[in-house]
Amino acid sequence: MVSSEAAPYAKTGGLADVVGALPYALQQLGHEVAVLIPRYRSTFRYATRRVTGPFQVQLGPYPWYPSVFTTEQPSPFYFLDLPDFYDRDGIYNDRSGEFGDNDLRFGMLSLATFHFARYHFRPDILHCHDWQGGLVPAYFKLWFAGDPAFLGAKTVETIHNLGYQGLFPRSSIIRVGLPEWLYRQDLLEFHGGISLLKSGLVYADAITTVSPHYAEETQTPEFGYGLDGLLRARKAQLTGILNGVDYSQWNPATDPHIPSNYSVEDLSGKAVCKRELLNEFGLSHAPQDRPVIGIVSRLTGQKGADLILEVAPYLFREDVYMVVLGSGEPYFEGMFRHIRDTNPGRVGLRLGYDDALAHRVEAGSDIFLMPSRYEPCGLNQIYSLKYGTVPVVRATGGLDDTIDGETGFKFWEYSGYALLLALEDCLRAWKDTDRWTKMMRTGMTRDFSWMTSALQYDSLFRTLLHP
Ligand code: ADP
Ligand code: GLC
């Protein structure tokens, strides 16, 4: 596998959760798996053992000399070390914005994959994630498909989010060492530049995305981000495989980050989690007999923050609290500051990234809010189910596939009005203790373990290798 993120080593969102867990599930099915991610500064403390290198990788006009590291204890995770590219604080950007050489950084990751794989073991499947792995299928088809080390191998491109396409100027084709003739509308060209995600979608033998519903949506102009035509054309090779949950990390019965463990048999610890959460967010005098609405999110246009702003004046007429953990675009951070400031004593806000706190918000909230504009899969709503925190979601992508009327509340139209109606339904249900407890328990017993998803990847890989 080739990815830019893998939990716990490097994470900005759900991609990391997926790549951090799927390899282990595939191993349980008997697969041999190696995952290559960059050796960012954040991974130094894990990636301590050098396994190979320096070896030469010719990326465009320049030779580079990366090495590969792994963890102290054997694991499927390997880290591409090239300090000029990866020894930085951020994964994609720093405070001054996106790094200007992300084409080279992830072009290098994709190309070095072949040099590492040749050394490590002969792969049957090269599984690439998002635009950062999108050049792997192109390099493969152009240069490596006839190489004895890769003979018969197949490539799979997984779309985690069509909203991020790896867009670069036309000149990047040469920078990443590819021939200029790939600048064609049916190949890498995209609105006057190139798209590395498109490279993956054009050249991969199979395409997957992270829920069945999103697989359908990606083929429509509304969700396709300009790639819907290509995805319609490749429909026969496109499958939606729902993500799983790593219950070794997300389980209230064993979670070390929450103040009191609880389970479907004994829910009493959840009240402790709620009290502590309100304390932690400075709402310590809050009466406990009111529901807490939790949000953990990247703060981007995708996640529906504008709808929350729209409903806030009406929502806070009810006796509710809201607790928000998020980081992202300044515009949306400002939006949540405004919601906090206009509803004193009702809203707890933490702007930043804090994994342990994300667990405590899941555990301490009664309701989890995810009104996404689009959502390829979404993991937090599935974590919420396990934590007995009833989700209110927009019925799109994976949110629609994972939540139903027995476990949560859905709305369809992307409007504040539709969200408000769903929230009001939810608040009514909360007042009916029996109904609410039943919903919590039903959600907690739903099973989204990785094995179900891994079996689908397994079957896809087998079909590719033995059609
Ligand atoms: P996406 O990948 O689009 O951000 P997902 O729901 O698939 O959405 O996954 C988000 C992951 O990132 C979850 O594990 C969630 O807990 C985590 N996360 C998002 N924002 C934060 C934050 N501010 N602090 C800690 N964890 C966060
Ligand atoms: C993306 C999507 C999210 C999905 C995650 C993991 O970041 O936005 O919906 O759950 O990838 O596949």
Q: Using one digit for the tens of pLDDT, what is the confidence trace for 186-235?
A: 999 999 999 999 999 999 999 999 999 999 999 999 999 999 999 999 99
Q: What's the pLDDT score for residue 437?
A: 98
Alpha carbon distance 357, 352 (integer Å): 10
Q: What angle do CA 213, 408, 244 make, to 5 degrees?
A: 50
Containing domain of residue 338, as a range?
268-447
CA of 13 to the centre of ligand 1 (A): 4
Q: What's the pLDDT score for residue 286?
A: 74
Could you read off the pLDDT of 348-386 as tens digits, one per residue?
999 999 999 999 999 999 999 999 999 999 999 999 999
Could you read off the pLDDT of 12-31 as tens digits, one per residue?
999 999 999 999 999 999 99
Alpha carbon distance 433, 267 (integer Å): 13
CA of 161 to the centre of ligand 2 (A): 6
Residue 256 lies in a domain: no
Confidence band for 139, pLDDT divided at 50, 70 and 90: very high
Alpha carbon distance 459, 154 (integer Å): 14
Asked if 114 and 191 sit in the same domain, the reply is yes
* Nearest Cα residue to atom 24 of ligand 1: 353
Question: Mutate which of 379, 389, 401 to test ligand 1's pocket (most atoms within 8 Å of Cβ)?
Answer: 379
Is the minimum distance from the CB of 304 to ligand 1 under 6 angstroms?
no
Alpha carbon distance 384, 404 (integer Å): 13
pLDDT at position 96 over 90: no
Residue 390 lies in a domain: yes
pLDDT at position 287 over 90: no
Residue 129 lies in a domain: yes
List the single range of 74-83, 89-98, 186-195 with lowest mean pLDDT. Answer: 89-98
pTM strictly above 0.85: yes
The closest of 107, 102, 168, 114 to 141, measured between CA atoms, is 114
Asked if 185 and 332 sit in the same domain, the reply is no
pLDDT at position 284 over 90: no
Asked if 209 and 156 sit in the same domain, the reply is yes
Asked if 182 and 88 sit in the same domain, the reply is yes
Asked if 435 and 460 sit in the same domain, the reply is no
Asked if 228 and 94 sit in the same domain, the reply is yes
List the single range of 74-83, 279-288, 334-343, 435-444 with lowest mean pLDDT. Answer: 279-288
Asked if 198 and 315 sit in the same domain, the reply is no
Q: What integer is the mean pLDDT of 135-162?
A: 97
Q: Map residue 205 onto helix, strand or coil.
A: coil
Is the minimum distance from the CB of 327 to ligand 1 under 6 angstroms?
yes
